Structure 1
Amino acid sequence: MKKRTLSPELAAECERLKNIYRSSSRSRGVTQSAMADALNISQAAVSHYLNGQNPLNTRVAAVFSQMLEVPVRAFSPRLADQIEETVKAAQIGEMASREAPNISLTAQPAMSYKYPVISWVAAGNWAEAVEPFPPGFGDRYELTDYRAHGPAFWLQVKGDSMTSPSGLSIPEGMLILVDTEADAQSGKLVVAKLTESNEATFKKLVEDSGRKFLKPLNPAYPMVAINGNCKIVGVVVRAMYRL
């Protein structure tokens, strides 16, 4: 299936970045292969950003900015503003924590739950899936305040179909917690698996005129109709970065 065309604004950002890359990459010794290694993505994915096939996001913009030694605002004022707002919010939070020495903490009951990190799920295309591991299995765990309704596990997102240029966005590298017995209602983010193979994907479940679809948050990707070809593995109930 063909991807949707980017909006003029998003396409213009990619074009500006491509021009900067062409003029600056050689003098700085930056190749698409090196950029792919820095982003932990394929070289083809780097080409997709430069050629306007995928919209830029803050993580990709920050890495290009660092390696090409140009400010993000030179090619994307939109993403530059997002990065600045994120930095400001972090600074405000840090200042608030320093300026509240008279606040005493009240002991609270422990409400942490740990679930295994078992594999990754492709957020761009169907990829090899993993069945939920039984409780207690795994060599890596992450804590959360969420109490699952059934077996649950963390997956690390790969691909950019859930990376949105605005609003809710689940970029590549983020960990998502999947609850296999949570109620999969329309509007929920889910992991779905093809019924006739070991392939799965991460999308938003939506319903329109009685029909259900798997919808990416990235407008460059098409929706996938649910017509008996897949089942819901679980609902995504938490998302986080682990640096």
Structure 2
Amino acid sequence: MSTLAERIKSARTHAKLTQKALALKAGVEQPVISQLETGKNLQSAHLPKIAHACGVSAIWLSENMGPMTGAANSDSNIAEARQPVESYPVISWVAAGAGAVEPYPAGFSDRYEFSEYDSKGSAFWLEVKGDSMTSPAGQSVAEGILILVDTEAEAAPDKLVIAKLPDSNEATFKKLVKDGGRLFLKPLNPGYPIEPFDEHCRIVGVVVRALQKF
């Protein structure tokens, strides 16, 4: 199995770029490319930019999964259909509540995770904190799970959403429900209170994916 450093060098060779040319094209410092290729730097934030600059698969470069490029198998006249893989930043709950920077520029976060989800707007990952969305039965999202938030997805009742309450500087993770013509933010854990959703609340985005790493 190839190392990350070997894959970065292979990607640069595939693109027929010098370290200096790759640095300019990817928008990073040349010493960073050199450090990555020698294994002295393991910063994953640069990988999506390097993959794009070299024309290779981001998930291949980062995780050594799948082929280097999306080219068809040489033994077949039919190109294999593949889901596009996007890279989204992992941000803090405070940044989410503040609206952070939209759209999120390359290098905005020092951590990125991949998903096949094609977002409608700016999207980001959050790491679930606490057990307010952990349910003893049915739908449940445990602490530590990464959730992908799309800021332009439709926030309809019964969707899991990220919202900003007026009395907190952090975003909150709840289920949007409708009862008696009114909207509420409901935790999946029955031990936590339901919050009314009024004109002082703001929907940051809708949770569209969940990712748990072991």
**TM-score, length-scaled by structure 2:** 0.57
Distance across 1 between alignment mates of 2:167 and 2:182: 21
Task: State, as a whole percentage, how many aligned pairs show the same letter.
Answer: 59
The aligned length equals 135
Equivalent position of 2:151 in the other structure: 180
User: What amino acid does structure 2 have at the position aligned with 1:159?
Assistant: G
Distance across 2 between alignment mates of 1:234 and 1:120: 12
TM-superposition CA deviations, 1:151-196 (whole Å, max 9, x none): 0000001010100001111010000001011100000000100246
Equivalent position of 2:128 in the other structure: 157
Question: Do the aligned partners of 1:120 and 1:157 also contact (CA within 8 Å) in 2?
Answer: no
Distance across 1 between alignment mates of 2:147 and 2:82: 25
Distance across 2 between alignment mates of 1:196 and 1:220: 21
Distance across 2 between alignment mates of 1:148 and 1:227: 27
Equivalent in 151, 160, 174 of residue 203 of structure 1? 174
Equivalent position of 1:131 in the other structure: 99
Question: Do the aligned partners of 1:132 and 1:152 also contact (CA within 8 Å) in 2?
Answer: no
Question: Do the aligned partners of 1:119 and 1:130 also contact (CA within 8 Å) in 2?
Answer: no
SS of the residue aligned with 1:229?
coil
User: Structure 1: 5+ residue runs without aligned partners?
Assistant: 1-105, 122-126
**TM-score, length-scaled by structure 1:** 0.51
Equivalent position of 2:70 in the other structure: none
TM-superposition CA deviations, 1:8-32 (whole Å, max 9, x none): xxxxxxxxxxxxxxxxxxxxxxxxx
Confirm or deny that 1:111 pairs with 2:89. Answer: no
Shift of 1:208: 1.0
Question: Do the aligned partners of 1:196 and 1:229 also contact (CA within 8 Å) in 2?
Answer: no
SS of the residue aligned with 1:219?
coil
SS of the residue aligned with 1:204?
strand
User: Structure 2: 5+ residue runs without aligned partners?
Assistant: 1-78
Shift of 1:220: 0.8
Distance across 1 between alignment mates of 2:89 and 2:96: 18
Q: More relative contact order in 1 or in 2 (CA 8 Å, sep 6+)?
A: 1
